[in-house]
Structures are given as C-alpha cells and as structure tokens.
A = this chain, B = another copy of it.
Amino acid sequence: MKKNRPKFKQIIDAAVVVIAENGYHQSQVSKIAKQAGVADGTIYLYFKNKEDILVSLFQEKMGQFIEKIEEEIKPIESASLKLLKLIEMHFSQLSQDHHLAIVTQLELRQSNKELRQKINDVLKPYLVLMDSIVQEGIDQGIFEQNLNKRLIRQMIFGTLDEMVTNWVMKEQKYNLLGQAEVIHDLLLNGLTTRKG
C-alpha cells in the first residue's frame, strides 16, 4: 500500500507547504519534489499525476479533519450541541494549521472542474455528517420538521466555508474560533428578534 510508505506523506506535506507559500499556479511538481527531498521522478512512483497529489492531499487532510470531528461529536447527545461542536472543530482545526487553511480555502479552488469534483467527493462524508446531525435534531424535536435537508446543509456549509475563507483572506488576523457560538446561535435561531 503506497499510502503507508513514508514518502507518500512526505510528498503530501511538501505539497501543502509549497502550495500555501507559492500559490496553486506556482507550485510545480519539481518544487514539491525539492521540498519533499526527493527527485521529480519519484513523485510518479507514489502518485499517478499532479492532480493525484492534490486529490490525495485533500483526502488525507480532510479525512483526518472529518474523522476528528466525528469522534468528538459521537458522545454528544443533543443535536444542537453536536452542531456547536462541529462548528468549533471546523474552525479550530483550520485555525491550527494555517498552511492547510490557505490551501483548502484559496488555492485548491483554482483547480479545474474535474479536480473540484473529486474534492467534492472527499467532502461528501462531511456533508453526510451534517445531514445526520440535522436529522437527529428533527428526531429530537429541537429542529423544525419538514426542513429541506440539502438546503440546510448548504446553509451550514456555505456559512462556515465563507467565514473561514474571509478569515484566511484577512490573513487570519482575528479569532475565528471565537465566533463559533454566535454563528451556532444564528444558524439555530436566525436573524429575527427573539422575545423574552
């Protein structure tokens, strides 16, 4: 299994650094090889082609990202608190790895449609996780019935994603994690004035 050989991770980590520091279009295979400390040709012993590096990068990093969120959420009962934890984890993980944040929020989006489709496939389990939280919330009677779940998921994901992207583009100058509770509240209760 190629994925378990040390150079596999070595190359992926090099790719994250190179892309974060040079930008997507300035991240040539040779640059990634150099950063990884291997020859250009070696890359092709571990990856089919350049796109495969990026897809693998996303798979590895987002796989861990999602796994960690799933772990943390599992023991929580309330769907509402699950959602809060998801938001906090989403923000904290990207806050802790600035390189990865730049790569996922800004650089990889410059890829072509085909690659973005594959990236979306990797994200699928995350969206499914959101769906299941919403479903639980409905079952628990704390979320409105008759919700269009795809739409909910788009609202949650779109909001979180936009927030992280803005934070990255502002060069991470403010505390992203600190906004988790506020946005959780907004997603649950909306803009409207709440009485009492």
Chain A residues engaging chain B, CB cutoff 8 angstroms: 23-25, 106-107, 109-113, 116-117, 120, 134, 137, 141-145, 147-148, 150-152, 154-155, 157-163, 166, 169, 179, 182-183, 186-194
CA distance A192 to B147 in the complex (A): 10
Smallest CB-CB separation from A191: which chain B residue?
A: B143
- Residue of B151, B166, B183 touching A186 (CB-CB under 8 A): B151
Interface of A is mostly: helix
The number of times this chain is found in the oligomer is 4
Q: Which residue of A23, A24, A188, A191 has the most chain B CB atoms within 10 A of its CB atom?
A: A191
Contacts of A137 in B (CB 8 A): 191
Establish whether residues A191 and B147, one from each chain, have CB atoms under 8 Å apart when the complex forms: yes
